[in-house]
Amino acid sequence: MSQLSTKHLLGIKDITTDDINLIFETADNFKEVINRPIKKVPSLRDITIANIFFENSTRTKLSFELAEKRLSADVVNFSSSNSSVKKGETLIDTVNNILSMKVDMVVMRHSSPGAPHFLSRNIKANIVNAGDGTHEHPTQALLDAFSIREKLGDVAGKKVAIIGDILHSRVALSNIFCLQKLGAEVMVCGPTTLLPKYISSLGVKVEHDVNKALQWCDVANILRIQLERQQIKYFPSLREYSLYYGVNKKMLDGLDKEIVVMHPGPINRGVELNSDVADSEHSIILNQVENGVAIRMAVLYLLAGVR
């Protein structure tokens, strides 16, 4: 298999296991490229990519922009905070105006679930979903699984616990789909108020005791509390959440095995994760950031071949 089965990367749910493995194999090659003294290849020098972000982003936006520049693509950055969106322009009109300037590919983050899917039905350019509300964040799931594969040799058969605010997390859903497609067992752990009502229907284990989740898993992917998406209080205080669901070094030292700790960022230190864990030998958080560039290079390169 030398090309993806889809023209867009809208979500992990829409791609095949073969697609995921092809992205990983391509990312292996690009990881070697970004560790060279000259970190650039001319693969996309005839391609123009627009990064259209309707929500704030640091890591994802920088990672995509760096991936695009490493591939020699021409890059256009768009931020809704200083655009005609503020004047009432629709999503379709905004994107069509950008595409009329002969843009080939769109990387989009939007607060509304399904926005990239809606766009894919109305424009001709390739679309990469950089996060749509609380729905999916496919490149984050790919880089997480790629990091597990790099650290442990394979994803199949591994036990992965996703701990934290599952209800408001787009990372959690994409990770569940990706890990299951690659043969991993998945558990979600958090307070009942932060777990979706029908989460068990996705074929995941559900746990409310973080110590039991850590004892069960090979990898703990710890998510932050997304206060910006919460319209009501789901727990009494951050202090109480940290007391019951925060992960610290003492908890890891009490396990009868070594586990890998991950976090998609940004970390709220002292809430879901203590510094003594985030900066420990268990953590592969900075590896995730590095792998994010290689994975996004692979995705952009492969989608450019599906016109």
Residue ranges of the binding site: 59-60, 87, 109, 137, 140, 170, 224, 265-266
Residue 299: CB partners within 8 Å, gap ≥ 6? 9, 23, 128, 139, 142
Which residues define the annotated binding site for L-aspartate? Answer: 87, 170, 224
Half-sphere exposure of 284 (CA within 13 A, CB side): 21
Please name the residues in contact with 246: beta carbons below 8 A apart, sequence gap of 6 or more.
270, 271, 272, 273, 274
| Tokens 């995941």, residue located | 204
Residue numbering of the annotated binding site for carbamoyl phosphate: 59-60, 109, 137, 140, 265-266
Cβ proximity of 297 and 71 under 8 Å:
yes
∠ CA 39-26-18, rounded to 5°:
165
**Distance between CA atoms of 264 and 288, rounded to whole angstroms?**
8
**DSSP state, residue 269:** B
User: Under 8 Å CB-to-CB from 158, ≥6 apart: which residues?
Assistant: 148, 152, 184, 185, 218, 219
Residue for token pair 């309707």: 54
CB contact at 8 A, 250 and 211: no
